A and B are shown apart, each in its own frame.
Chain A
Amino acid sequence: MAKQSMQFLKVGLIISLFTLAACSSSSDVEDATEGNQSASGNNSGSSATTNPGGSGNQLTQDQIRAQAALRQTIFYFEFDIAEFDAGDRDTLTFHARDLATNTGKRIRLEGHADERGTREYNLALGERRANGILNYLIVNGASRSQIEVVSYGEEQPAVSGSSEGAYRQNRRVEIVGR
């Protein structure tokens, strides 16, 4: 009984988070993110639980979306902002579900900052970014013990240089298998 209500609670939480994601991503005019994830303009296909009586065809679509989402392992951040982009919520939810399903899977969240600002603050900022994603993954079904967080601050830029373009690619959290 207790287990069932827990499950129910979890599903309810996922649904509400999805709704939230759909709302905020529709107002989000940021440039296209990495990967081939399609923008979630509506929430029709976001979860089988929201579409009663989903056909087999739809399930395959969902699987394809999940696979595409899992291929996106880098998440980018705005300057001076520690919260991940609202447009990445769906993708991160697929990652959380993947961890919930595959309980033996272990990942590392590696947080990074661009070179602006002091190094030790950037180290802390990278951790704050990674923790934001960590908390989201846990809320959506992953277990804390599956995830290690490490911040590299500005010490390991993805791209060298001091251009806005380089900075954009360096403010990131990477999901790394381990």
Chain B
Amino acid sequence: MKLRHLFPALAFWLISLPSLAELSIQITQGIDNPIPIAIVPFSMQGSGILSEDVSQIVTNDLEQVGEFRALPPSNMLGLPSQESEVFFRDWRILAQDYLLVGRIDQAPGSQLVQVQYEFFDINRELKLAGEVLTGSVAQLRDIGHEISNVVFEHVTGLRGAFTTQLLYIVSDYVSPELTYFRLEKSDYDGQRSQVLLESQEPVMSPSWSPNGQDVAYVSFETDLPRIYIQNIATGQKRQITNYPNINSSPVWSPDGTKLAMVLSKDGSPDIYVQDLVSNELVRITNHPAIETEPSWTPDGRTVVFMSDRTGQPQIYQIALGASAFDVERLTYDCFQCAKAKFLPDGVNLMHVRRETRQNPSYQIAILNIETLRVITLTDTSLDESPSLAPNGSMIMYATKYNGRGVLDAVSIDGRVKFRLPSTQGDVREPAWSPFLN
């Protein structure tokens, strides 16, 4: 059995304030034949009552992504906590495919816990995984999410994204003169949110650095939109740009050495790339129309952007180093296509789509640029800011629900949806982190 220590850098969590607007997940659409899994409530050894229910965290994780349906503990014929107590026949009778059991040990008076878990394939009567995870009481959620990662990967073959995080913007209206804008970070499921920045002027466009340590964003705190980079752990920030007019849409290159951005210092918004080491600024587009919303192709050699040079927003791309006239148009079949980014395959283009002039309704869609097939994933009317999970399984995006800004997620095949409702303010512009460990 393996022993692992989880996330030594607990220090992060003490720095910033917990947010008032805790998000919690609602599953809004699941698949027809989810995989049946039995997650037995973990037994507790030693004294004390823990603040988090690890097996419940795993249950929530696996059900949220829609692929799994957990057996209610009240239907279980026994509550094993380790391999020697497992009778596969019991679980076959209940038509379960997989079984997770575990126990938590806490030494009296200690802040350290040991979580031992074992994961079984019931049909093959096989133990697929088992280990002991050690951490502090405050890390119980991380431990739960880590177990979810292991289970998810064993069953789907895909790396789990349950220990990833979100950045997003909250706008909290107080009075006509006062709105608070906050940059917040939370777990992927909206839990444990923290405020990274609070301002009475707008904050926009959070973007993760590829190593997950920094965030670039736009803040109007000087009364003008300027780009900043902030270290997530220390909270230290520095202003990156101070050009006249719009400074917006910072997006890190895949290797983390450059920042694509939008500047209108030369008349109209165009795409620029700033080298973060040499500070050299290179102009990428040169057109009197609006060019904005840059993103990088997975190889980091080409920048995708939106331009309204034909009268309406459409998606284009241009290779770094190419002439500003050497632009390739990627979308033709929509009235407006915007905010595009390639999936890791470099073929499927995630974007925001308005089909017709008559219907000002915006959805998240994926265009295959080879087959030109379009899959529209959402069906609400104000969907924007799509952001892909690092394992490519889901897209988080912003929409409106009951007049409030909320974050929704949809699986890449459109079959599963879940929502993170906020208890306070309008939530928007989600940015899904890279893998953080």
Which A residues fall within an 8 A CB radius of B?
79, 115-121, 123-125, 127-128, 149-153, 155-156, 160-162
Inter-chain CA distance A117–B339, complex, in Å, is: 10
Contacts of A124 in B (CB 8 A): 246, 248, 262, 264, 269, 290, 292
A121 near B306 with CB under 8 A, answer yes
Number of B residues contacting the other chain (C-beta, 8 Å)? 39
B248 near A152 with CB under 8 A, answer no
Inter-chain CA distance A118–B246, complex, in Å, is: 16
**Interface presence of B187 (CB below 8 A):** no
Shortest Cβ distance from residue A22 to the other chain B in the assembled complex, whole angstroms: 29
With A119-B385, A150-B223 as known contacts, state yes or no: A162 contacts B248, CB within 8 Å.
no
A116 near B352 with CB under 8 A, answer no
Q: Closest residue of chain B to A161, judged by CB?
A: B403
Contacts of A117 in B (CB 8 A): 313, 336, 338, 354, 362
A128 near B290 with CB under 8 A, answer yes
**Interface presence of B224 (CB below 8 A):** yes
Shortest Cβ distance from residue A173 to the other chain B in the assembled complex, whole angstroms: 15
Q: Which of A121, A125, A151, A153 has the most chain B CB atoms closer than 10 A to its own CB?
A: A121
Residue from A118, A125, A152, A162 in contact with B352 in the complex, judged by beta carbons closer than 8 Å: A118
B362 near A127 with CB under 8 A, answer no
Residue from B181, B224, B360 in contact with A150 in the complex, judged by beta carbons closer than 8 Å: B224
Inter-chain CA distance A125–B428, complex, in Å, is: 19
Find residues 412-437 in chain B having any chain A CB closer than 8 Å to their own CB.
Answer: 428-429
**Interface presence of B378 (CB below 8 A):** no
B293 near A127 with CB under 8 A, answer no
A sample of 18 more A-B contacts (CB under 8 A), given A115-B382, A120-B306, A162-B382, is A118-B313, A118-B338, A118-B385, A120-B204, A120-B262, A120-B292, A121-B313, A123-B292, A124-B246, A124-B262, A127-B246, A127-B264, A127-B269, A128-B268, A151-B225, A155-B181, A155-B220, A156-B179
Shortest Cβ distance from residue A82 to the other chain B in the assembled complex, whole angstroms: 9
Shortest Cβ distance from residue A78 to the other chain B in the assembled complex, whole angstroms: 12
Contacts of B224 in A (CB 8 A): 150
Interface string of B342-361 (1 = CB under 8 A from A): 00000000001010000010
**Interface presence of B245 (CB below 8 A):** yes
Shortest Cβ distance from residue A81 to the other chain B in the assembled complex, whole angstroms: 11
In the A-B complex, the 3 residue pairs with the smallest Cβ-Cβ separation, listed nearest first, are A155-B202, A124-B290, A118-B338
**Interface presence of B142 (CB below 8 A):** no
Which B residues fall within an 8 A CB radius of A?
171, 173, 179, 181, 202, 204-205, 220, 223-225, 245-246, 248-249, 262, 264, 268-269, 290, 292-293, 306, 308, 313, 336, 338-339, 352, 354, 360, 362, 382, 384-385, 400, 403, 428-429
Shortest Cβ distance from residue B65 to the other chain A in the assembled complex, whole angstroms: 27
- A-B residue pairs in contact (CB < 8 Å), sample of 20: A79-B360, A116-B360, A116-B382, A117-B313, A117-B362, A118-B306, A118-B339, A120-B262, A120-B306, A120-B339, A121-B290, A121-B308, A121-B339, A127-B269, A128-B268, A128-B290, A149-B245, A151-B225, A156-B179, A162-B382
A156 near B202 with CB under 8 A, answer yes
Contacts of B269 in A (CB 8 A): 124, 127
Contacts of B204 in A (CB 8 A): 119-120, 123, 153, 155
Shortest Cβ distance from residue B261 to the other chain A in the assembled complex, whole angstroms: 11
Shortest Cβ distance from residue A54 to the other chain B in the assembled complex, whole angstroms: 41
Shortest Cβ distance from residue B263 to the other chain A in the assembled complex, whole angstroms: 11
With A118-B339, A128-B290, A155-B202 as known contacts, state yes or no: A123 contacts B248, CB within 8 Å.
yes
B173 near A160 with CB under 8 A, answer yes
Q: Closest residue of chain A to B337, judged by CB?
A: A118
Contacts of B220 in A (CB 8 A): 152, 155
Q: Closest residue of chain A to B246, judged by CB?
A: A127
Q: Closest residue of chain B to A163, judged by CB?
A: B403
Inter-chain CA distance A151–B248, complex, in Å, is: 11
Residue from A121, A151, A153, A161 in contact with B338 in the complex, judged by beta carbons closer than 8 Å: A121
Q: Closest residue of chain A to B293, judged by CB?
A: A120
Contacts of B249 in A (CB 8 A): 120
Contacts of A149 in B (CB 8 A): 245
B362 near A119 with CB under 8 A, answer no
Q: Closest residue of chain A to B398, judged by CB?
A: A119
Inter-chain CA distance A115–B428, complex, in Å, is: 12
A119 near B382 with CB under 8 A, answer no
A162 near B400 with CB under 8 A, answer yes
Q: Which of A79, A124, A153, A160 has the most chain B CB atoms closer than 10 A to its own CB?
A: A124
With A118-B352, A120-B262, A121-B308 as known contacts, state yes or no: A162 contacts B403, CB within 8 Å.
yes
Shortest Cβ distance from residue B188 to the other chain A in the assembled complex, whole angstroms: 22
Contacts of B248 in A (CB 8 A): 120, 123-124
Shortest Cβ distance from residue A113 to the other chain B in the assembled complex, whole angstroms: 12
With A150-B224, A155-B204 as known contacts, state yes or no: A125 contacts B382, CB within 8 Å.
no
Inter-chain CA distance A122–B223, complex, in Å, is: 18
Inter-chain CA distance A153–B49, complex, in Å, is: 49
Inter-chain CA distance A151–B245, complex, in Å, is: 8
Contacts of A152 in B (CB 8 A): 202, 220
A116 near B306 with CB under 8 A, answer no
Contacts of B262 in A (CB 8 A): 120, 124
Shortest Cβ distance from residue A87 to the other chain B in the assembled complex, whole angstroms: 24
